[in-house]
Chain A
Amino acid sequence: MKPTRLHGSQKTRIFGLIAVLALFALAAPMPAMAKPDANLTAQQIVQRANYSSYYSGKDGRSKVKMTITDSQGRERRRELTILRLNSVVGPEAGKGSDQKYLVVFHRPADVRGMVFLVWKRAKGDDDRWLYLPALDLVKRIAAGDERTSFAGSDFFYEDVSGRGLQEDEHKRLPDEDGLYVIENTPKKPGSVEFASYKVWIDPETFIPMKGQYLDRSGKVYRTMEVQAVETIQGNPTVTKSKIADVGRGTTTILEFTGVKYDVGLPDKIFSERYLRRPPRKYLR
């Protein structure tokens, strides 16, 4: 009897299966392996959480798929690519540091080709520009309210690029299910729609896995939930998250694909030149 040889196609199938399993292993929410450290202060925890949420790597690229579902079950979809560059690299960046963002819209068709450039400043107002391809127009956008819907979704600008740590008082509550629990109260209550919000942070990855926003009557009206985390180039990365507006009955799911860190994004692409003609090399 001849020894069984694997055909090319079978080999491909097996490697395919391994690859799929490996992906599943990566995509599965990571169990909190590390135990919470009783010595960490609220400030230290939120700083590390801010770092792992918004400042990983020297730079980053991800493709975002947004599914917005209204109270009647109707869906709207958005697709965009985000390029991000840090001015400070490493955990120190988590204290809050300047960043540049280039956001290229792919879907829906009527906003396709629109590009959004943000110079995010830790101190002072952000600079924002919007490019409208039909008019070949570069429009300057006022910094505006950070708690305004991003692209018509349940996510706010702040959820996409981070909320300044100095804007809230942070208090560590007793741990729950092996997660840090932080209560955040705004220093200027009139400037935001919430009275406070609570986040549950993974002690190993420092990713906020869950969040609840409370209104003035103490009722939860908005929730955030991370549904998938992957380790990409050593950086724990949220690849799927969901925000629900309990009052309106709407939800938005964000899925991140093609995430890459340390792409080598040059500073010059965050300028009017590339706002008018996005750098396809880095978008692929």
Chain B
Amino acid sequence: MSMMRKLNLQSVIFAVLAVIAAGAPTSLQAQVEVHGFAELDTAARLQDDPAMESDFTLQEARAQLKLEAFGDLAEAHVKLDFVRDELLGETRIEVREAYVTATLGESVELRAGRQILTWGTGDLLFLNDLFPKDYIAFFVGQDDEYLKAPSNSVKLDLFAGDTTFSLVWTPIYTSDVFPTGEVLSIGLPEGMVLEAKAPPKRLGEGEFAGRIARTAGSTELAAYGYYGRLPQPMGIDESGMPFFPRLWQAGASIRRPLFGGIFWLEGAWGATEGDPNETVPEDAGHAFAGFEREMAKDFTVGVQVQVDAPREGDSRTQLTLRLTKLARRQTVRIGFFGFYSPDDKDGHLRPSISYDLSDSVRLTAGANIMWGDATTPFGQLEKNTNAYARVRYSF
């Protein structure tokens, strides 16, 4: 299991520092707020998977505690998840957020600590957002919010009129959380898990991500840059071991209203680096376009098409469809999200339904259905197809 799902010392230090830093300048007027939720999650495989011992992909009790302290010059946010994981038979604390935000003058903001970062225009598609994702959480049946994983980063924002300059430095490279064969099978024989060579944990081996965003009337434009590593171990070194190759990437996006809906377009070019005795993915261009519109009262439809085209070799096209229907005074939400690639003939469907029993209790049920050839991105996860149920109490 990846280090990110477990409590690590670094995160605890961040959490403690965040609390102290928030308390220090604001001890006179600090306003502290506590919120969170408690939930039970269970997800069962809908077919037998000979490679896996358990018939479940998720069985846990989770409580999230959110602490916020606000002062005049700085604020602190800490979000801790206390998890009893029946599948792994362990109890752990996950530090999801622990950061301090400081306002440095009129137009500069600094945020430091463990944080969840998002930018870009896609709907569950990410090109220029290379911040860590948790693709185990995404496939096992956890809430959508767990797709975004935290990183220990420093973010600097400079606001100049309609233009915002952002720079994110992640001193120690943080990869995605991805299926390795431990919780989700990926077609390896029973007992085998995917191992990858961890990148060095040195300063200077970290990641830099930048964005210039501008709002011009109703149109949002952005340019992005990244220097770090591919988020998943897609390189093979001389000993046959997967590793995370170096990556340079640049991209741009536009988002604006069109035909009564919202239209977005995003593209990126990524260049990988590797030694002559290493195999790394080809440099590649990526792009997606999307459109979303309310087609009837409380019924929204969204479509996207993405193309990934390596400099040489076959490109992959992927389509997505999102349907959202709200009913009974928006207390019932019926949702569907589907990925499908006509090239590889693989896909992933995410139907779900939720009901707000009261202001604080929500019941959710849904499924993750994956199919395709064992060599395709979704096909290798086919045996993990599951249905899940969740009850969440928020406070």
List residues of A whose CB falls within 8 A of some B CB: 68, 70, 74, 76-77, 107-110, 112, 119, 125, 127, 132, 134-138, 140-145, 147-149, 151-153, 250, 268, 271-273, 277, 280
Residues of B within 8 A of A280 (CB): 70
Besides the contacts A144-B294, A273-B109, what 12 more A-B pairs have beta carbons closer than 8 Å? Answer: A76-B356, A108-B359, A110-B392, A110-B394, A112-B35, A125-B260, A127-B218, A134-B116, A140-B220, A140-B257, A272-B164, A273-B159
Contact across chains for B164 and A277 when beta carbons are under 8 A apart = no
- Which of B262, B292, B293, B331 gathers the greatest number of chain A CB atoms within 10 Å? B262
Which chain B residues in 246-273 approach chain A with CB under 8 Å?
A: 255, 257, 260-262, 264
The 5 closest A-B pairs by CB, nearest first: A109-B394, A108-B359, A134-B145, A152-B330, A144-B294
Cβ of B117 within 8 Å of any chain A Cβ, yes or no, is yes
Q: Using A110-B362, A136-B116, A273-B164 as known contacts, say yes or no to A145 and B292 having CB atoms under 8 A apart.
A: no
Nearest CB of B to A170, in Å: 25
Residues of B within 8 A of A141 (CB): 262
Contact of A137 among B118, B264, B293, B329 (CB under 8 A): B118
Contact across chains for B359 and A76 when beta carbons are under 8 A apart = yes
- How far is it, in angstroms, between the C-alpha of A70 and the C-alpha of B159 when the chains are bound? 45
- How far is it, in angstroms, between the C-alpha of A250 and the C-alpha of B395 when the chains are bound? 25
- How far is it, in angstroms, between the C-alpha of A71 and the C-alpha of B117 when the chains are bound? 42
Which chain B residues in 118-149 approach chain A with CB under 8 Å?
A: 118, 144-145, 147-148
- How far is it, in angstroms, between the C-alpha of A137 and the C-alpha of B148 when the chains are bound? 10
**Helix, strand, loop or mixed for chain B's interface?**
strand
Contact across chains for B329 and A250 when beta carbons are under 8 A apart = yes
Contact across chains for B359 and A127 when beta carbons are under 8 A apart = no
List residues of B whose CB falls within 8 A of some A CB: 35, 37, 70, 101, 109, 115-118, 144-145, 147-148, 157, 159, 162, 164, 213, 215, 218, 220, 255, 257, 260-262, 264, 292-294, 297-298, 300, 329-331, 356, 358-360, 362, 392, 394-395
Nearest CB of B to A142, in Å: 5
Residues of B within 8 A of A250 (CB): 329
Contact across chains for B329 and A152 when beta carbons are under 8 A apart = yes
Contact across chains for B329 and A142 when beta carbons are under 8 A apart = no
- How far is it, in angstroms, between the C-alpha of A152 and the C-alpha of B215 when the chains are bound? 30
Residues of B within 8 A of A143 (CB): 257, 260
Q: Using A107-B359, A127-B257, A273-B157 as known contacts, say yes or no to A136 and B118 having CB atoms under 8 A apart.
A: yes
Q: Using A76-B358, A76-B359, A127-B218 as known contacts, say yes or no to A142 and B145 having CB atoms under 8 A apart.
A: no
Contact across chains for B329 and A149 when beta carbons are under 8 A apart = yes
Nearest CB of B to A263, in Å: 18
Contact across chains for A135 and B145 when beta carbons are under 8 A apart = yes
Residues of B within 8 A of A77 (CB): 359
- How far is it, in angstroms, between the C-alpha of A109 and the C-alpha of B109 when the chains are bound? 27
Contact across chains for A140 and B255 when beta carbons are under 8 A apart = yes
Q: Taking CB as reference atom, which chain A residue is nearest B331?
A: A152
Contact across chains for A135 and B257 when beta carbons are under 8 A apart = no
- How far is it, in angstroms, between the C-alpha of A144 and the C-alpha of B300 when the chains are bound? 9
Contact of B297 among A74, A132, A138, A145 (CB under 8 A): A145
Contact across chains for B292 and A142 when beta carbons are under 8 A apart = yes
Nearest CB of A to B123, in Å: 8
Nearest CB of B to A92, in Å: 23
Contact across chains for B215 and A108 when beta carbons are under 8 A apart = no
- How far is it, in angstroms, between the C-alpha of A52 and the C-alpha of B330 when the chains are bound? 30
Residues of B within 8 A of A144 (CB): 294
- How far is it, in angstroms, between the C-alpha of A77 and the C-alpha of B375 when the chains are bound? 50
